Amino acid sequence: RPPASGRAAMRRLAAGRRPLLLGCALRPGGVSRRCIAVSGHLFPAGAGSRRHAFGPEDTARSLSAMAAAVAVAAAATSSATRCNEAVEDPLPTVDTEEGGDVPEAPVAAVPNEEEEASGRFDAARWAATLGRIKSGIVSLKVNSVRAFATSSAGNSQATGFVVDAAQGLILTNRHVVKEGPVVAEAVFDNHEEVTLEAVYRDPVHDFGIFRYDPASLKHLPCVAELQLRPDKAKQGLDVRVIGNNAGEKLSVLGAMLARLDREAPFYGRKGYNDFNTFYFQAASATSGGSSGSPVVDPDGDVVALNTAGKVGTSASYSLPLDRVKRAVNLLRSGRQVTRGTFQTTFHFTTFPDLRRLGLTDAQAEAARSGGEDVGMLVVKSLVPKGPAFGLLEPGDVLISIDGTRVTRFVPLEEILDDCVGQRLELFVERGGKLLRVMLRVQDLHSIVPDAYLECGNAIFNNLSYQQARNHNLPVKGIGVFVASQGYLLGRAGIPTGSLVTDVGGRPTRSLEALEEALAGYPDAASVPVRYTNLGSPAQHSVAMVRIDRTWFPMQLTTRDVPHLGAWRTRPSPSPPPPRPAVAKVGEESDEGEGDGGHHIAAPASGGRTRSASGCNPVEEKLARALVKVAVSVPLAIDGMPEVEFAGTGMVVDTERGLVICDRNTAPGTLCDCLLTFGSSCTVPAHCIYVHPLHNLAVLQYDPRSVEGTDVEAVTLRRSSAHELHGQKLWLVTYVGSMRRGYTLVSESGVATHSEANVAPLSNPPRWQETNIDLLAFKGGGSIRHSQDGLVSNGDGEVVAYYASFLTQTVRNGRLQDSQYFAGITSDIIEDMLSALRRGEPLARYALGAELEKLGLSAARGMLMDPATTEEVEARCDHWPPQVISIRRRWAGTGAFELLRDSDILLEVNGRRIETFRDVELAVADTAEAELLVVRGCRKRTLRMRTAPLDDATTDRLVLWSGAVLQAAPAAIAQQRGQELTGVYVSSRSRGSPASRYNLPATSRVIEVDGEKVPDLDAFVRAIVAKRDGADVRLKLLDLRGAPSMVFLRVDTRYWPTAEVRRFPGPRSPGGCEPFHW
C-alpha cells in the first residue's frame, strides 16, 4: 500500500509500460518487508540499510529505477536471443530479515536523478551487456619460447577478444603476441581451449592478432564477435575493462575515460615502447593478466584496447583503435597490413609551446581554422641514417604532407601506411621559417627483425627498430643484438643486450655475417669478439669466446613471412675440423706427421709464461705448482646453484697433466674447464674424476700445451688432521681475476681441528661434505676466510689442500647458499691419486650413514651408561675425547635398515673408531661389516651390508620439453631418506612446456601415462613416441615422497627431445681426455 504519490507514480508508469513486479510491499513510515524485483534484480527501498523508513520520495525513486530496469531487461532479452543464450531458470529464494521470501538476485544500485540525466546506466544493463559479449572474451596463456629483440623467454597470461568469429581472429596486445616465436592457447568462457597462431604484431603500436581454428570449438557454437568502435570513445564515457585481471579469468573493472590525449606510456630504454599515438587514461586499477582486455561501452562495443597501468596508482592506459581497426579489416580481407615510416618520432605539442618553438601566427591560425584547437605535431627524435635523418630536425613543426594539413597522429599514419615506397612532399616550420622536404616512406616491416641465430645457447638477432630508436642508433649495419647471452657469451662475460660488432676481426653487421663468422671456427676454438653496450655505444670491449658446438645446436630460425607467425629452423653450416696440433709450442706439425701420423687436435691456447717470483721461500717453491681454475657447466644438474665456478688448483703430476681442486670449483665431469698457469698461459682441461665421498676433483690438461713453461708438481707430505694439530703452517694462493691478473699471496697460522658445516636439509638436494676430519687455521690474516689454496709446512711440502665447501645457512628466515673454507689433509689426497694412477676405484664401499662427533659429556647418561663412557674415555688417543654418532642414514642401504639415528659407533670389524677417517678406512674394501654400537645405553653387535660406491658424477641426461632430466642423485637418499627411483627433474628452461605446466624441479617422475618409469631407459621408451602437441600425464614424487599428478603438452618444434651422454675416449684423435660428451 504505497502512499499517494507512490500510487500516482505507479499509475503513470502503468500507463506507459507494464512493469514486472514480484512481491512489492511498502509501508509508509515503516520498514520494507519486500524488495522490488525486476527481471531478477532487486531494488531496495532506499539508499541506506535494508531496514529503512519509507517516504513518498523513496517510493517514487524506486519505481523510476524499476521502470528503467524493465526497459533494459527487455532490450537485453531481445539481444541475447540473437545469440541463442536466453535461458531463464527459476530464481531461488532467500529469507529477508523480516522473514519473507524474495527471489535471490544481484542487488542493483538505485541511480539518482543526476546519474539518470547524464546517461550513466545501472548494473542491470551492464549485466545484460556482459552476458551478450563474454563468450567472445578469452584468457590467453602464452609461452615465449625464445628471447627475441625486446622480449624475453617466459610464460605469461593475458586477455584477448574475438573480432572475427568466422576466421578466428583474436585481438590483444603486441607485448602479448611477442616479437619472436610463441606457443599460445586461448581459454573461452566455457573453459574450452584452442591453440593459437600469431598472425600479426604491429611494429610500433601495442596491438597484435592471434588466429584460432573456429572448427576446434566443439561446445561453444555461438561466439560473440566484439565490434571495434573507435568513433564512440569520448571523454567521460562510462566503460568497463573486461578480462583476465590478476589471473582471475574474467574480471570486470569499472572506470570512466578521463583523458583521450595522454602521451604513450614509457617502459624504459631496454624494452618496447609505443609512440606516435595518443593513449586513453582511466582509473580502472587493472593489474597483471588484463593486457589485451577490451574497454567496452554500455552497448558492448569496444572503444579502446587496455595495455598497461601505472604502478602504485589506479591509472590504466588504453590504446585507441583507429589503426587497429584498419589492420583487422585488412587481415579479414586477406590483404597485407602495410605500414610506413620516416623513422621519426613525433610529439603532440600545444599552441603555447609551439609559439616558443617559433611557430608563426599565420600557421597557428591556419591550423585552428582547419579544426585543430589544441596543438600540432613536432619532430621529437630521428633514428640515425633513417629516411628523415639530416632532412628533419628535432623541433620542426609539421605543417602538411602532400598538400594535406596534418596536426594529429591518426592522419599522419594514414598517409604513411598508404604510401609505402613513395616520395612525399613535407612542409615543416623550423624557427619560424617554412621548409619544403622530400622524403621516401620506408616499409616499416623491413626494419623489424624476423630471424634469430642460436649458438651455444646464446640468441642473436638483428637490431630492432625499437632498440635503435631507444638508443639513438642506426637500425642496420652496426652489429647484431644479443637477445640472450646463454652459455656461449655468459662464460666470456658478454651481457645480454650487447651489440656484437666483430668476430675474429670480421665485421658482423648482420645476422648472416655473424653466422658465417661463427661457423668458420671449430668446436672449442678461442675467438676474440668485439662488442659494445647499447647504453654507451662509443665504448667497445673485447672478450675471448670459446666456440661451443657440443652442448647446444647452432641453428638459424626465420619467420616465413616477416609479419606473420610461422617460424622455420635450419641447422647452421658444420664446423671445420679441429686445427692440426703442434708437436711443440711454436712449431707447426704437418698432417700425417707426429704421434704416429695421427691428426692431433691443437690446444686452444697455451705457450710460454712466467710465474710469480714469491716473497718468501714457501711462495717461491709453490708458485709454479699453483693454477687458477675456471669451470663452466652448460646444463644445471645435481642441484648446483651456479653454472660458473672459479678456484685455485695445484699441479700433482706434470707428466699426465693432473691438477687437484675442490668440488665447489669442478662439481662434476659435465663441464668445460680452463687452467691459467703463471701470468698468461691459459689451456683447456677436463674434469676426469670426482671423489665419491669428499670435496676433491681431478682435472687433466694436455702437457704438450704448456711445454716451455716452468710448471712443477707439488711435493705431498702424508699427514692427517690430528697429526697437524698445533703445527705452524702456511697458506699460499692466488688472488685476482683473469681480466686483471693474479697476485701470489701467503699467510701463516697454527693448525687446528675443524668439522664440516653440514646444512640440515639442503634444498635443492646436492652433494655436501660429511664424515671428514678437516684442518682449520688459527691466527694469520684474512685470506683463510675467502680463498682456497695450498697448505704447506715451512719446507714447502704440501700437507693439505685448502678447499672451498658449498653449504647452506638460514638468513632472515630463508635458506641461502654460502661457503666456508677448510683444509683436506694430504693422506686423503694421496690415497685418491694412488688409486687413480693404478686405474682402480678409490673405495668400493661406505658405511651408508652421515656421522657426527659428540663430546662424552653430551653422550653420558643420555646415550651411553657411565661405565661405557669411562671405558671410551680411557681408550681415546685424541683430545677432547669424542665418540662417533649416527646423524642420518642413507635410504636403500644396510645402515638404513639396521642402524638408528643417534646410535654410538664404537668399533667396525674389530677396529676401534675415534675419527671419521677410521670409519672410512674400516669399510672401504668390505661388502659387509660387523659393528659394535651403543643404543639406549646398551651395547649391540650388528652385522650389515655396506653401501656400494658408484661413480659420483652424472654421466647421462635427457632433455625433454625444456626439462633437464637425470637419474635421481644420491643426495635424495643420503639427506631425505628417499629411495633412488624415478627420473629426477634437475632444472627447466624458461618458456618451455616444463615451465608452462609447472613440472617442478627436484621432483621425480615415476609414471608416464600410467606406465612406470623407474629409470632413464624406461622414461625414454615411454616418451619417444609422443608427438608434437600430445598431452602427457606424469605422476611425480616430491622430496617428501608425496605423490602428485601433472599433465604436460609436448612441444617438439622448439623443445626437441635429446640425450647427452658420456663416452670413453677422446673427442678427436690425439686428445688426452679419457672420455668425451
Active-site annotation, residues: 175, 206, 290
Interstrand relation of 238-243 and 294-296 (parallel, antiparallel or unpaired): antiparallel
Amino acid at 98: E
CA nearest neighbour of 136 among 183, 176, 177, 169: 169
Catalogue the E-assigned strands of 812-856: 814-825, 845-846, 849-855
Amino acid at 566: A
Kindly list the distances between the CA atom of residue 590 and the CA atoms of 533, 593, 600, in Å, as whole numbers in the listed order. Answer: 42, 6, 10
CA nearest neighbour of 886 among 898, 874, 870: 898
Contact 282, 258 (CB under 8 A): yes
Q: Rounded to an integer, what distance in angstroms lies between the CA atom of residue 1054 and that of residue 959?
A: 12
* Dihedral angle over CA of 909, 911, 915, 921, nearest 10: -60
Contact 346, 469 (CB under 8 A): no
Q: Which long-range contacts (CB under 8 A, 24 or more apart) does 964-969 make?
A: 964/635, 964/636, 964/637, 964/988, 965/1005, 965/1016, 965/1019, 966/637, 966/638, 966/1016, 967/1015, 967/1016, 968/1004, 969/638, 969/639, 969/765, 969/766, 969/767
CA nearest neighbour of 771 among 1039, 968, 910, 974: 974
Grouping H, G, I as helix, E, B as strand and the rest as coil, residue 313 is: coil
In DSSP notation, 743-788 reads: EEEEEEEEEEEEE----SS-SS------S-EEEEEESS-SGGGT--
Contact 707, 584 (CB under 8 A): yes
Contact 395, 379 (CB under 8 A): yes
Contact 425, 440 (CB under 8 A): no
Q: Rounded to an integer, what distance in angstroms lies between the CA atom of residue 574 and that of residue 554?
A: 9
Does an H or E element contain 46, and which? none
Does an H or E element contain 346, and which? strand 344-350
φ/ψ (deg, to 5) at 1063: -120, 145
CA nearest neighbour of 316 among 336, 272, 357, 286: 286
Q: Rounded to an integer, what distance in angstroms lies between the CA atom of residue 121 and that of residue 69?
A: 9
Q: Rounded to an integer, what distance in angstroms lies between the CA atom of residue 656 and that of residue 645?
A: 24
- Measured from the Cβ of residue 959, the count of other Cβ atoms closer than 10 Å reads 17
CA nearest neighbour of 398 among 378, 369, 414: 378
CA nearest neighbour of 905 among 870, 878, 931: 931
Contact 651, 711 (CB under 8 A): yes
Q: Rounded to an integer, what distance in angstroms lies between the CA atom of residue 395 and that of residue 153?
A: 38
Q: Rounded to an integer, what distance in angstroms lies between the CA atom of residue 345 and that of residue 264?
A: 12
DSSP state of 576: P
Contact 228, 324 (CB under 8 A): yes
Q: All 3 cell numbers of residue 681?
A: 698461459
Contact 805, 665 (CB under 8 A): no
Q: Rounded to an integer, what distance in angstroms lies between the CA atom of residue 655 and that of residue 639?
A: 34
Q: Rounded to an integer, what distance in angstroms lies between the CA atom of residue 707 and that of residue 1043?
A: 57
